[in-house]
Structure 1
Amino acid sequence: MRNTFVKTLVKLAETDSRIFVITPDLGFSVLEEFEEKYPDRFLNVGIAEANAVSIAAGLALSGKIVYVYSIIPFVIMRPFEQIRVDVAYMNTNVRLVGVGAGVTYGPAGATHHAIEDIALMRALPNMTVFAPSDPYEVERITEESINYQGPIYFRLPKKGEPIISNSKNEIRLGKANYIKKNIESEIAILFTSNASDLALDVEDKLLKEGYCSDLVSMHTIKPFDHAALAEILKTKKHIFTIEEHNVIGGLGSVVSEYIAESIYNPVFKRFALPDEYSHYVGSQSYIRDKFGLTAQNITTTILELL
């Protein structure tokens, strides 16, 4: 998805001179094309994440549209105060582009994992939180982001995820993306970001057991598509969320908060990473397995609830 993001941005920059890219010394093998084509609009500020965010805010206040690109912990956690004050509070047109959702950077250890980022970003007033599930969503929202007012956080995986969206679907910030829809189904699986492979696998396993389900990509965590969720709750008796994020503060929290204040009472279950850091070092699938975030475990639990 990061390659789709950069290719789309390079194309947009051909006709929009407002677009700038800043990196705190990361993005090698990804950002070179933008740097070569638009050297006057590309800044590598070195390993100085807080400065990167403040420079971006300054450029945005002068009319530029600025994308700050790095690994998630370095673009979100390290410069959090600058994001809060210079970006969110000032409501600037800065786009924070974080790569490596969840435990994508598994072998690098907990310092490089991104399990708290959605919770942090959705707690900031004015911040839009975009967590795409496939390259098609990335392309459409990158295009929309050019004229979008206010800051955006992009949560990007980097494992070459396939396109799962229907090209006829309208992809907009704050609008749910139905991957599969079945009127007769009483089950809805809502997922976000790099949990798409888990969601698709679970849906397939349930189908083999005789249960069909809606499959919905909730690519925008904030502003959330509460209207779509309300429609789902009207027609579905069983709601499940899947995400590669801390069980606290992510997609599951958004949905449960809405249900708690609604008139609906579905069977509801969150599937996410537990509220603990990983002391395991290994691949993404290895760490998922260690924490029980696997399609088989999720399917088994759903079948028990059904």
Structure 2
Amino acid sequence: MGSTKFILGMRDQFFNELYKLFQEDPQAVFITADNGAPTLDQFARDFPDRFFNVGIAEQQLIGMACGMAFEGKKVYVYAIAPFVSLRCYEQVKLDVCAMNLPIVLIGVGAGYAYDIMGPSHHTVEDVSIMRALPNLKIYSMADGRSAGELAALVHHDRSPQYIRFDRAGLPEVYAERGIDIGEGLTQLRSGSDLCIVTSGVMVHQALTAADLLHQSAGLNVGVIDVFRLKPLNGEALKKHLHNVARVVTLEEHLLAGGLGSLVAEWMIDEDLRMPTMRIGQDDRFVFDYGGRKAIWEKYGLDVGAVVARIAGWMRGESGKVVKVPRLEAHGVPQGTAY
């Protein structure tokens, strides 16, 4: 009986690469808010004077980081994503961003990664609020390889930065292809009928949906992974969308202020008149149990619903959420999730 291949999560691949940078940079400091990880133990062991745990006190986490940054340190702070973004938002706004300090906020559990924990642990509004802060750069990675590549870039950048990592170990998107982290986005697949612009875990959903749309409807569908949400590389995005008929944005995030809003705002500013549909979480809190897959299926974020909405929209229908009963015929179970 075969065993399931272990996939090292993006947080841990990032930490492994960051550890190498800490070996070279005595000014690097790590502060956690009572969150650990096997790959984090090496920091506590080998850099005891540069590793701190403040406990469940996120406001203190940010205040301490800012004091160290003012003294010339490169500071990394780490907590569950909703706690490092929402719980200490005022401190991040005034102490980190207004002072333009070299602090990297690391949040694990983007979207519905902490599925059964409910709204207190869901992170589906962080892009909306964090991108409103001047000076702050935002990253949302799709796999461990890209997360590992990100470490050196953020370490040598003196800007305030926020990284949202998924909790799970996701299949590698970039295992056999290069990635230019500095570019901010990658065209994973080209397509002239439609392009799905996406980020994070939804990159995997988008690639599967593109395959199914080609198999079932003959559509030539492109996929773009926007891993740097702010600042958006508009020049590169415009190049990849050249000669594309339609655009779909796909995100595991509230539609208000997320990736879809970001792309729509950019298109308006650039006077790009292109049919566009946003797919994401509508205006609600989610209290449902059953796991991430169940949440996606109920609220139209699973592969089947995404394919159905896009296919209907291409046929001139409304794009409302509908179910596709026979996705299994294409080799993908209804509600595929990672």
Q: What is the TM-score normalised by the length of structure 1?
A: 0.95
What's the offset of the Cα at 1:109?
1.2
Match for residue 188 of structure 1?
A: 195
Amino acid at match of 1:218: V
Match for residue 298 of structure 2?
A: 290
What SS does the aligned partner of 2:75 have? strand
Match for residue 263 of structure 2?
A: 255
What's the offset of the Cα at 1:122?
0.3
What's the offset of the Cα at 1:166?
6.2
Task: Select which of 120, 132, 136 maps to 1:127.
Answer: 136
What's the offset of the Cα at 1:293?
0.9
What's the offset of the Cα at 1:196?
1.8
What do residues 223-262 of structure 1 show as CA deviations (whole Å, max 9, x unaligned)? 0011122223431111011111111111100111122233
Alignment of 1:67-86 (within 5 A): 67-86=76-95
Distance change in 2, residues 1:166/1:226 (3 Å): farther
Task: Select which of 94, 112, 117 maps to 1:108.
Answer: 117
What's the offset of the Cα at 1:114?
0.1
**1:215 paired to 2:226:** no
What SS does the aligned partner of 1:13 have? helix
What's the offset of the Cα at 1:127?
0.3
What's the offset of the Cα at 1:167?
5.3
Q: Which runs of 4+ in 1 moved over 4 A?
A: none
**1:301 paired to 2:309:** yes
Are the aligned partners of 2:14 and 2:150 in contact in 1 as well (CA < 8 Å)?
no
Are the aligned partners of 2:12 and 2:37 in contact in 1 as well (CA < 8 Å)?
no
Distance change in 2, residues 1:14/1:167 (3 Å): farther
Amino acid at match of 2:66: A
Match for residue 201 of structure 1?
A: 208
Match for residue 320 of structure 2?
A: none
What SS does the aligned partner of 1:214 have? strand
What SS does the aligned partner of 1:31 have? helix
Amino acid at match of 2:128: A
Which is further off, 187-196 or 159-168? 159-168
Distance change in 2, residues 1:128/1:173 (3 Å): farther
Match for residue 27 of structure 2?
A: 18
In our comparison, the structure showing a higher alpha carbon Rg is: 2
Are the aligned partners of 1:187 and 1:213 in contact in 2 as well (CA < 8 Å)?
yes
CA distance in 2, matches of 1:275, 1:27: 33
What SS does the aligned partner of 2:120 have? helix
Structure 2 regions of 5+ residues with no counterpart? 1-9, 315-338
What's the offset of the Cα at 1:141?
1.5
**Matched length:** 304
Structure 1 regions of 5+ residues with no counterpart? none
Match for residue 117 of structure 1?
A: 126
Task: Select which of 33, 36, 51 maps to 1:27.
Answer: 36
What's the offset of the Cα at 1:50?
0.3
Are the aligned partners of 2:195 and 2:248 in contact in 1 as well (CA < 8 Å)?
yes
Task: Select which of 40, 63, 74 maps to 1:65.
Answer: 74
Which is further off, 28-37 or 154-163? 28-37
Q: What is the TM-score normalised by the length of structure 2?
A: 0.86
CA-atom RMSD in angstroms: 1.5
Match for residue 277 of structure 2?
A: 269
CA distance in 2, matches of 1:281, 1:66: 36
Match for residue 178 of structure 2?
A: 169
CA distance in 1, matches of 2:299, 2:264: 22
CA distance in 1, matches of 2:228, 2:114: 23
CA distance in 1, matches of 2:238, 2:140: 21
